[in-house]
Amino acid sequence: MNIKNMKKQALCLLCLMTIISVVQVVSAEMVFKANTPIDLKVSCENNGSLCSTSAACNLTIIFQNGSVILTQQDMTNSGAYFNYTVPFSEVGTYRATMNCFDKGLGGVSNFEYEVTPTGDTRNWILFLFLGMISLVVIVIAFLSGNEYIMFVGSALLIVTGVYGTIYGIGNVYNVYTRMVSLSLIGLGSLLFLVSSLKAISESSGEDSVGGFGSGGGDEYDYFNN
């Protein structure tokens, strides 16, 4: 293995290590999937201890547009928590108020929960992160003329597209998000193919791949030697 190939592989490994060390996605605690029943489970505490089996709680839920979904509906005392199954699951943010009464004492707890197409709020963060990292790595590959870095960038672009195809983009999952995702997969596949041909050409000692032919010239050379 010559020094040039060792440098390329070192740069490729450095890119991978940087990506792995930076990825950190935090998801919301109460997120549910649209078009499915939502089983809300909320703990009840009285002076630092769980509420008794005789405790009673009711639930009021208001949608983000101000419409009232539930009004003081009784919740089920399940011991460690109270639960209520909500049949409404339109995409959006819901504000809930839980009123509890236990041994002559009363308390109120306010919380929010979110409903998304996939039951996950991190998909737009991860999609955006993967897209930005892919772009940065691909630009570095073009500037450095390193096809091994391009392998990483194109693979990340394909992963971004696959993720968008499965989970959508943010709270949107329709034909348009799938078209965008499939376009990313196609572009990533093309770049991967070009970089692969370049790597094969270099390893066999042939001239630059150029425009998929030996006579392509520098005009079609995607990487600088």
Same domain, 136 and 196: yes
Burial call 13-40: b when 16+ CB within 10 Å, e when fewer: eebeeebeeeeeeeeeebebebeeebeb
**Cβ atoms of residues 64 and 94 within 8 Å:** yes
Residue 225 has pLDDT above 60, yes or no: no
**111 shares its domain with 195:** no
Regarding whether 60 and 17 lie in a shared domain, the answer is no
Residue 84 lies in a domain: yes
Rounded to whole angstroms, the Cα distance separating 75 from 194 reads: 60
Structure confidence at residue 120 (pLDDT):
67
- 132 shares a domain with 216: yes
Which is more confident, 33 or 213?
33
In terms of domains, do 134 and 203 share one?
A: yes
Range of the domain at 92: 31-116
pLDDT at 115 over 80: yes
Q: What is the predicted pLDDT for the residue at 123? A: 59
pLDDT at 45: 84
pLDDT band (50, 70, 90) for residue 21: very low
77 and 128 housed in the same domain: no
Residue 92 belongs to a domain = yes
Distance CA 164, CA 167 (A): 5
Tally of structural domains, the chain: 2
Confidence of residue 22 (pLDDT cuts 50, 70, 90): very low
Q: What is the pLDDT of residues 55-99, one digit of tens each?
A: 999 999 999 888 999 999 999 998 888 999 988 677 788 999 999
Instruction: Say what percent of the chain tops pLDDT 90.
Output: 20
- pLDDT tens track for 118-128: 676 655 777 88
The CATH number linked to 96 is 2.60.40.10
Residue bearing the bigger pLDDT, 31 or 172:
31
CB-CB contact of 44 with 103 (8 Å) = no
In a domain, 10, yes or no: yes
Which of 116, 139, 166 is the endpoint of a domain?
116
pLDDT of residue 72: 92
